[in-house]
Amino acid sequence: MKQYDSVIIGHITEDINIDHEDNTVHICGGAVLYASASAFALGHTVAAVTKLAAADSARLEQFTIPREDVFAVSCERSTTIRNKYFTADKERRDCVCLSRGTPFTMDDLPKELDGQIYHFAGLIVGDYADDMIPLCAKKGAVAVDVQGCLRHADPETGRMYFEDWKAKKELLPYITYLKTDAAEAEILTGTADRAAAAKILHGWGAKEILITHNTEVLTYDGGEIYACPIRARNLSGRTGRGDTTFGAYLNERLQSDVPTALETATATVSLKMETPGPLRADRAEILAYLRRFYR
């Protein structure tokens, strides 16, 4: 059985990104791609479990982790998403799911994998069954990107929209690391105050909360609120911001305390945001960036 720091479960997508000036770019995306890249860049051992149709197997070339650590399950459908951005900072967008990937089940996790953390990198509600969370909690720590619990795709139009997570109070106690962005945190808790939202989510059972924002990343572990500023010098690589942060943070927590892991993760995403696509760097480059802009 092969041991990994984290096993990341999610669909690798084709993203059709249209910017505020109507320029169109086709690029591979998905939380599983960006989160595995940042964890690997920091030196962690990562397995990526993904599902896609045979015709889309070329997408696997976009992973930065070793090919032997990518476990691709063949299925009928892959995920394709069109994103229309309305502002230069890419904070406002309209998303349409053009093709929905086949959902994950426990049978998709190879028996030879053993992870300290099981990271659910869902994109759309239904990417995986809720019962996978407590089942994986018996195997290791569970990390959840809440986007996959809130973002729905209309079955007729594909238009994506957000609704509260009905099973949140039942499933949050199984989650060690919970990641939201500021808007998702407000949907879950009803408050726009990110620190207050983190405390509410912790009170409902999640052990550590990470909330991303365009200015900073915030964490809460039941003790103190920590926040660290994003210092990217440009936003050309804005796509994948939250996924990059979360992949870096939860893997760094295996060896560092909360504020140290937060600072490292925020430096990692700041560096990544300066270049489109998944992070292609190593730990030495990230630490050099951290020393230059954070210390």
Contact 180, 118 (CB under 8 A): no
Nearest CA among 109, 102, 117 for reference residue 254: 117
Per the structure block, which two tokens stand in for 217?
């990343």
Contact 179, 145 (CB under 8 A): yes
pLDDT computed for residue 88 by the predictor: 80
Give the number of other CB atoms < 10 A from CB of residue 228: 20
Domain boundaries along the sequence of the chain: 2-293
pLDDT computed for residue 174 by the predictor: 98
Mean pLDDT by groups of 10 residues along the chain of 295 residues: 95 91 90 98 98 96 97 95 85 88 96 95 94 97 97 94 97 98 97 98 98 96 97 89 97 98 98 94 97 92
- This prediction's pTM: 0.95
What is the assigned CATH class of domain 2-293? alpha beta
Cα–Cα distance measured from residue 44 to residue 252, given in angstroms and rounded to the nearest whole number: 8
Contact 196, 188 (CB under 8 A): no
